Chains A and B, each alone.
Chain A
C-alpha cells in the first residue's frame, strides 16, 4: 500500500514538472511573433494555450496607440430618420460621449470611467483596423487571390456588423439617458479620430481630425442605462 502511495506521489510530482516545462515552452512560442516554428505548431497552440491560457502581452507594442478614437452619437427621431435617405445624416447635434469619461478619469484615477470608456475606443479601433488574424489572407489578396479577397471582405463585413450592434447599445443608452423626455427611433454612430501630432511638428502643428460614419441602428429601448450621462432636457 505504501509503495503504491509512493508511486502515485512520484508520478504526480513528475507530471507537475513535465506540465510546467511543456506549458511554458508552448506559452513562449504562443506569445512570440509569427515564425515558421509557430506556424507549424499552430494547431497545438490553439488547442492548448490559445483556448485555456489565452494571453497577449503586446502592451503598447510594437506600435503604441497614438490616436484618440471618440464615439459620436446622434439620436434620431422618426422624422429625421425619414429624411436621411434624401438629405443624408444631419451635420449638427452629434454628441461626443467618450471625451467626458476620459476627463473624469483624468480628474480621479480611482473610478470606473476607464472601463466605461474602454469598449467605445476598443470597438472603434477594431472597426477601423478589421480582424487582427487576417494578415496572411490580406497578403494573398494583394497577390491576386480572389478567394482570399472575398474571405477578407466577408470577415471585415461581419466584424463591422457586430461592432455597430455593440456600439448601438452604448449609443441607445446615451440617447435614453440624455434625452429622457424624447422618443427616438434610431441612433447614428460616428467615429472621430484625432490623430497624434508627429514628433517633428510637436510645437507647431495641431492634431488631425477625421470622421467615419459607423452606421445607423434602431434604438434599443431595453438597454440598461449607465446613470452617468446627465439629462439634456
Chain B
C-alpha cells in the first residue's frame, strides 16, 4: 500500500528527469541534424521523385488514397528538400530547447515521412527514435514551469516512464534473442560480425580471432542487455549505465553505427535522475580544485620528452599539439622529422620515422616507436592514464602494434615544399 502511494506521488508531485529529458532531446536533435547534413546531399536519390524510395509503406499503413496525399511532398525535388529542411529545423529546436513540443511534433512527422519513404535506410536507432518521439510529445516543454500535482506533470511522468520502459523492452528483447542464438551462446557472434565489412574495421579482425576476447565480448553484451531492466532498479544502476555508454561507444567506433550508438547513449543518460545529476555536480564541485591541481602539470623550463611526428600529416600535427597541451607547457617538445633533422642526434633512421612516430626520453635517452611510444606517453601524462588499461589489453593480445600500423599507414600525407631546404631532410620523402 505504501509502495502504491509512493508510486502515485512520484507520478503526481513534480516533473521527473528534466535534465535527462533535455539530454535526450539534445541527443536526438544532434543525431537527426547529423543525418540531415550527411544524407542531405543524396536526398534526390534516397527520397526524391526519381529516387529509390516509394510509397509502399504509406499504402500499407494508411491505404492507397491517403498514401497519395502523404507522398505529395516527394513528387517534387523542392518538396523533398522542404521535408528535410523541416526535419533540420525541428532538430535545431530540440537541441536549443526552443518550443520543444512543437519541435518534437515537427521531427516526429518529417522523420516518419522520410523513414517510411525509404524503409531500407533504417536501423534500430531510427526505430527507437520513431517510438520515443511519440512519448516525447507529452513531456513538459523545456524551460516551462509546471504546477505541482497538475495534469501536465502527471502526463510528463507517464511519458518519462514510457521512454524508460521502451528502452527496457528493447534491451531485454535483444538480450533474450541473443541468448537463444547459437552463435551468441557459443561465444563466436562477434567473430562472425567482425567479418562483415559493413559492421567492422578490418584492422581489428585479428582481435576477434582471439578465443578469450571474442567470447568475453559476446557474453558481456548478452549479460549487459539481459540484466539491464533489473539493474535499473538496483544499486548497480549507474555502473550499468556507464557500461552501456562504453558498450555503445565501442559499437559506434568499431561497427560504424554512429547514429544508433548516439541515440542509445542519449537514452542511457536519460535514466539518470535529477537528484543524481545534482549529486554528481556537487561531487565534481567539491573535487574540482584538487582534481585540477593533480591534472594540471607544472610548467617546466626544459622538456623531458621529444616527440617526433610526421609534419606532412595534419592529423599527426594536431595529435602533437594535443599531446603538448595535455603534458603542460614546455614538458614535451614536438618535432616534425619532415622539417627538422634533429632526430639524427638520437640515432633514429628516417625510414623508421616514416613508418611510426617516435618518443625519446631525454633523461635516459631511450627511444620508443609506434604503439610503445603511445604507451610511454600514456604512462607519463596523467590525463592519458584512463587509456592505460585499454592499451595494456591491446598489448597483451598482441594487437597494439598492428592497430597502430594500420592507422599510421592510412594517414594522409600532404608534402610541404618549404621543408626541402636541408639536403638530408629531402631525402626522407
Are A and B part of the same complex? yes
Is A24 on the interface with B (CB-CB < 8 A)?
yes
A227 to chain B, nearest CB (A): 7
Q: Chain A CB within 10 Å — which of B48, B52, B56 has the most? A: B52
Chain B residue numbers with a CB within 8 Å of A173 are 45
| Cα(A118)–Cα(B252), bound, Å | 16
| Cα(A197)–Cα(B193), bound, Å | 11
A46 to chain B, nearest CB (A): 11
Docked complex: A135-172 residues within 8 A CB-CB of B: 162, 166, 169-170
A60 to chain B, nearest CB (A): 6
Is A121 on the interface with B (CB-CB < 8 A)?
yes
Which residue of B51, B192, B410 is within 8 Å of A107 (Cβ)?
A: B410
Interface pair B52/A13, CB less than 8 Å apart: no
Interface pair A24/B45, CB less than 8 Å apart: no
Interface bracket on A: 35 or more
Shortest Cβ-Cβ A-B pairs, 6 listed: A62-B181, A119-B120, A224-B44, A66-B192, A61-B177, A102-B197
Chain B residue numbers with a CB within 8 Å of A62 are 177-178, 180-184
Chain A residue numbers with a CB within 8 Å of B257 are 114
B412 to chain A, nearest CB (A): 10
| Cα(A55)–Cα(B130), bound, Å | 9
User: B residues touching A (Cβ–Cβ < 8 Å)?
Assistant: 11, 34-35, 38-39, 41-42, 44-46, 48, 50-52, 54, 56, 61, 118, 120-121, 123-124, 127-128, 131, 134, 151, 154-155, 158, 161-162, 165-166, 169-170, 173-174, 176-178, 180-184, 188-193, 195-202, 209, 252-253, 256-258, 410
Interface pair A199/B191, CB less than 8 Å apart: yes
Interface pair A16/B154, CB less than 8 Å apart: yes
A29 to chain B, nearest CB (A): 11
Chain B residue numbers with a CB within 8 Å of A109 are 252-253, 256, 258
Interface pair A119/B121, CB less than 8 Å apart: yes
Chain B residue numbers with a CB within 8 Å of A117 are 198
Is A88 on the interface with B (CB-CB < 8 A)?
no
Q: Scoring A residues 90 to 127 as 1 if CB is less than 8 Å from chain B, else 0, what string do you get?
A: 00000000010011011101111011111101110000
Interface pair A106/B42, CB less than 8 Å apart: no
Chain B residue numbers with a CB within 8 Å of A129 are none
Interface pair A202/B191, CB less than 8 Å apart: yes
- Given that A169-B52, A170-B52, A202-B209 are contacting pairs, would A59 and B196 also be in contact in the complex, using a CB cutoff of 8 Å? no
| Cα(A66)–Cα(B70), bound, Å | 37
11 CB-based A-B contacts, threshold 8 Å? A13-B154, A57-B174, A58-B177, A61-B181, A63-B183, A65-B193, A102-B198, A112-B39, A117-B198, A196-B196, A224-B44
Interface pair B198/A64, CB less than 8 Å apart: no
Interface pair A59/B124, CB less than 8 Å apart: yes
A-B CB pair tally, cutoff 8 Å: 178
Chain A residue numbers with a CB within 8 Å of B199 are 65
Which residue of A121, A203, A224 is within 8 Å of B50 (Cβ)?
A: A224
B103 to chain A, nearest CB (A): 21
- Given that A12-B151, A119-B121, A122-B120 are contacting pairs, would A63 and B191 also be in contact in the complex, using a CB cutoff of 8 Å? no
Chain A residue numbers with a CB within 8 Å of B173 are 31-32, 57-58
Interface pair B162/A61, CB less than 8 Å apart: no
Chain A residue numbers with a CB within 8 Å of B131 are 53, 55
| Cα(A10)–Cα(B203), bound, Å | 59
Q: Scoring A residues 1 to 38 as 1 if CB is less than 8 Å from chain B, else 0, what string do you get?
A: 00000000100110011011001100110011100000
Interface pair B174/A59, CB less than 8 Å apart: yes
Chain A residue numbers with a CB within 8 Å of B191 are 199, 202
Is A132 on the interface with B (CB-CB < 8 A)?
no
A230 to chain B, nearest CB (A): 16
